[in-house]
Amino acid sequence: PLSLDSPFPDFRFDEYMNTKAISVNKALDDAIPLQEPIKIHEAMRYSLLAGGKRVRPMLCIASCELVGGDESLAMPMACALEMIHTMSLIHDDLPCMDNDDLRRGKPTNHKVYGEETAVLAGDALLSLAFEHVAAKTGNVQASRVVRAIAELASSVGSQGLVAGQIVDLSSEGEQVDLNHLEYIHVHKTSKLLEAAVVCGAIMGGANEAEIERMRKYAKCIGLLFQVVDDILDVTKSSEELGKTAGKDLATDKATYPKLMGLERAKKFADELVAMATEELSHFDAVKAAPLYHLANYIAYRQN
Ligand code: GRG
C-alpha cells in the first residue's frame, strides 16, 4: 500500500509502472536479437527476459523525466542497467558464488545452459551494456553520455558491485557489525541504484545541483531497498513457518532485523523513505510523483 498522506493522490502509479515495464521489456528484447552464435544469445535472452521488477530502468527513466528529459534519452541507459543487474545475478548464482538453482522463479542460467555458457553470457551482457549506451543513445550531448558511462562503470567495478560481492564472500561465516553490513549493501545494491538515478538525470539534462540532489535521494532508496529486503526475509519466512522468528534470525547471515531488531529496522526504513522523498520536494511536484511513488513502492513492497 502507498503511504496514505501521498501528496500525489491522482497519480496512477500502477499504470505508470506497467507502461514503463512494457517499453523497457520491448527495448531489451530488441537489444539482443537471437543471432549466431545462437547458444550465447539464447542464454543472454533467457535471463534478461525472465521477468524481474525492472526497478533500475524505471528509476533511470523517472529521473530523466523529472529533470525534463524524454524517456527515449534514457532508454539505452535503462537497458544497460538491467543488463548489468542481470549479469550480476547470473554470476551470483554460479556454484562458485551462491550456488542457486532458481532465480526469478525459473532455473538459473547455469542450470539450463551449463557453467561455461553462464559465465560467458554474463560477460557478454556486461560488454553489451556499455556498447548499447555508447552506440544507441541519441539526442544527448556526447559529454553527458561519456559522464554517464563513467558513472555506470564505477558503480559496477572494484569500487562498486564487485567490491560488495568480494567483501560479502570474504566475510561468510563471520560475525559482522552494522558498519560492515552497510558496506556490503551500499556496494552490492545501492551503487547500481544510485547509478540508475544519477545517469537518468545526466541524460535528461540535469544541472549539477539537481544531479547531487538525486544522488542523495538514490543513496537513501538504495539502503532502503536492502533494509526492506531483510525485513521481508524475516516476515515472509515467519508467515510461511507460522512462527514469530523468521529464517534470518535463525541463521548466521547478518541482516538489519538481526543486528538492530525488527522494530528498529522498520523505523529505519520509514526514516529512509522520508529522507528520500524530502529531496524530491525541491522539484516540480507533478514530475516528482513517479519517484515519490517508487520510493514508497520500494519501502512497502511485498517481494
Ligand atoms: C557486476 C562485473 C560484475 C560482477 C558480478 C556477482 C557479483 C559481481 C555481484 C553480486 C551482486 C548482487 C547479486 C547483488 C544483489 C542485488 C539485488 C538487490 C538483487 C535483487 O534485485 P531485485 O529485487 O531483483 O531488483 P529483480 O529480480 O526484481 O530484478
CA of 89 to the centre of ligand 1 (A): 5
Which residue has the CA at smallest separation from atom 29 of ligand 1? Answer: 52
Q: Is 108 in the pocket of ligand 1 (CB under 6 A)?
A: no
What are the φ and ψ backbone dihedral angles of 14, each rounded to 5 degrees? -60, -45
Please give the pLDDT value at position 249.
Answer: 45
If one compares 217 and 245, the residue with the highest pLDDT of the two is 217
Q: Is 259 in the pocket of ligand 1 (CB under 6 A)?
A: no
Residue 27 to residue 21: CA distance in whole angstroms: 10
In a domain, 61, yes or no: yes
What value does the mean pLDDT take over residues 68-86? 98
Residue 78 · residue 148 · CB < 8 Å: no
Please give the pLDDT value at position 238.
Answer: 66
Q: Is 222 in the pocket of ligand 1 (CB under 6 A)?
A: no
CA of 2 to the centre of ligand 1 (A): 25
CATH label of the domain that carries residue 219? 1.10.600.10
In a domain, 139, yes or no: yes
Rg over CA atoms, the chain: 19
Please give the pLDDT value at position 6.
Answer: 60
Does residue 243 carry a pLDDT above 60? no
- What is the percent of the chain with per-residue pLDDT over 90, rounded to a whole number? 83
**pLDDT confidence tier of residue 113, bands split at 50, 70 and 90:** very high
In angstroms, how far is CA 66 from the centroid of its own chain? 18
Does residue 244 carry a pLDDT above 50? no
In a domain, 28, yes or no: yes
Residue 250 in grid coordinates: 535463525
In a domain, 119, yes or no: yes
Residue 72 in grid coordinates: 527515449
* pLDDT tens track for 52-67: 899 999 999 999 999 9
Query: Domain range for residue 37?
Result: 13-300
Distance from first CA to last CA of the chain, Å, rounded? 13
Q: Is 281 exposed, middle or buried (0-12, 13-18, 19+ CB in 10 A)?
A: exposed
Please give the pLDDT value at position 248.
Answer: 45
Residue 97 CB neighbour total at 10 angstroms: 14
What value does the mean pLDDT take over residues 121-135? 98
Residue 293 to residue 8: CA distance in whole angstroms: 9
In a domain, 7, yes or no: no
In a domain, 287, yes or no: yes
Please give the pLDDT value at position 11.
Answer: 84
**pLDDT confidence tier of residue 51, bands split at 50, 70 and 90:** confident
Q: Distance of CA 17 to CAs 182, 199, 232, 290, Å? A: 29, 19, 21, 9
Which residue has the CA at smallest separation from atom 23 of ligand 1? Answer: 53
- How many domains does the chain divide into? 1
- CB burial string 48-58: b at 16+ within 10 A, e below: bebebebbbbb
Does residue 241 carry a pLDDT above 90? no
List 103's β-bridge partners, or say none: 106
* pLDDT tens track for 202-232: 999 999 999 999 999 999 999 999 999 999 9
If one compares 301 and 199, the residue with the highest pLDDT of the two is 199
Please give the pLDDT value at position 23.
Answer: 97
Please give the pLDDT value at position 10.
Answer: 75
Going by their DSSP bridges, the two strands 102-103 and 106-107 should be labelled as antiparallel
In a domain, 3, yes or no: no
User: pTM for the whole thing?
Assistant: 0.92
Q: At what angle do helices 191-204 and 71-93 cross, to 10 degrees?
A: 160
In a domain, 283, yes or no: yes
Instruction: Return the half-sphere exposure (C-beta side, CA atoms, 13 A cut-off) of residue 248.
Output: 19
What mean pLDDT is reported for the chain? Answer: 92
Residue 135 CB neighbour total at 10 angstroms: 10
Which one-letter DSSP state was computed for residue 95? T
Please give the pLDDT value at position 246.
Answer: 45
